[in-house]
Amino acid sequence: MSEERFILDVIDEATAKRQSDRRRFMRMAGGAAVAAGGLSMLAACGDGDEDTPPVVTPTPTPSAVTEADVLNFALQLEYLEANFYSYAAFGTGIDSAIQAGVGTQGSVQLPSTTAGRPRQVQFTDPIVAQYAREIAYDEIAHVKFLRTALGSAATAQPALNLSGDSSGAFTAAARAAGVVGSSGTFDPYADDNSFLLGAYLFEDVGVTAYMGGVQLLSTPAYIEAAAGIHAAEAYHAGLVRTVLYRKGLSTASLFTATGQISDARDALDGTSNTGLLNQGGDRDQNIIGSSSTVANIVPTDANGIAFVRSPQQVLNIVYLNATSTNGGGFYPAGVNGNVRSS
């Protein structure tokens, strides 16, 4: 066999395996259930193109966290993002049909109302409005996808604080970061720039969360699916940071605000910023570099590698509490699922 033929055969074999993994994942997706502390997947009827066993039991992860726990933790974050973008773009939350599940389904502390409905952002920049709609559709799709993958094991949407008033989690986060004063209010639905800052608060956290979650998975189909969502979140985060940088060139206060939010996330996640992936003691970086004329769209280390957060570090941020807690901030009663304490 020639070297060229050998290489082509290897490529064909790798391609076939990836297609096989995707088909297996979609068959498995409809019947997920938690069994014996792990995730047992009941395969749906095969399509006849491969010999798939009727029951597939992924190898448990090395830690006490199962693959179902990882996917459910991701689902809890997606509920938050999907609802925020949906309210901002459309003035309504996600469909009630994709909210129920295991655990206590909570209510949503809504943005202030206008004409009897939650207030959406009145965008003045049509490009930002289009970005908001696109991201909203993506985040809603993530919720549906993860719920389908988990089946009856999917956790319910928890209580969420998405208010833009003085008692809202956005205001609490902005006060803690110094974006507004101790008695000030931050409303992410007020205008384009405020919306972008609200999105910036979430998106960077989502990217680091998925990067950490992928490390806890062992089933190839799950790894590929989680990596795909991680890539989508990274696109969103890069887009938000890019638009903020462009607008910050004419509105310098945006550079100040993004730096304050970045510093607050660094403080809240409870790390000392001395890990391997570290740049100058500041993992979570502002959108500018050494000056406003130097963009820093991707927060990376000296090797151009983005950093990762553990589930507990992510919860510290969304709970707005750097110490051990079971809820608060954007999740007043905590998240549902087995991974819920920071």
Supply the DSSP string of 261-312, one letter for each residue.
HHHHHHHHTT--S-SSS-STT-SS--SBSSSTTSB--S-B-TTS-B----HH
- 152 DSSP 8-state letter: G
At 36-79, the pLDDT tens digits run 333 332 233 334 444 433 333 444 444 577 999 999 999 999 99
* pLDDT tier at 291, thresholds 50, 70, 90: confident
pTM of the complete model: 0.79
Q: Kindly report which listed range (8-12, 134-138, 333-337) carries the lowest average pLDDT score.
A: 8-12
Closest CA to 138 of 253, 235, 60, 25: 235
At 222-279, the pLDDT tens digits run 898 899 999 999 999 999 999 999 999 999 999 999 999 999 998 898 764 443 333 3
Structure tokens at 20: 């096989």
Give the pLDDT of residue 135. Answer: 98
Dist CA 261 CA 269 (whole Å) = 12
Give the pLDDT of residue 242. Answer: 97
At 120-174, the pLDDT tens digits run 999 999 999 999 999 999 999 999 999 999 999 999 999 999 998 998 999 999 9
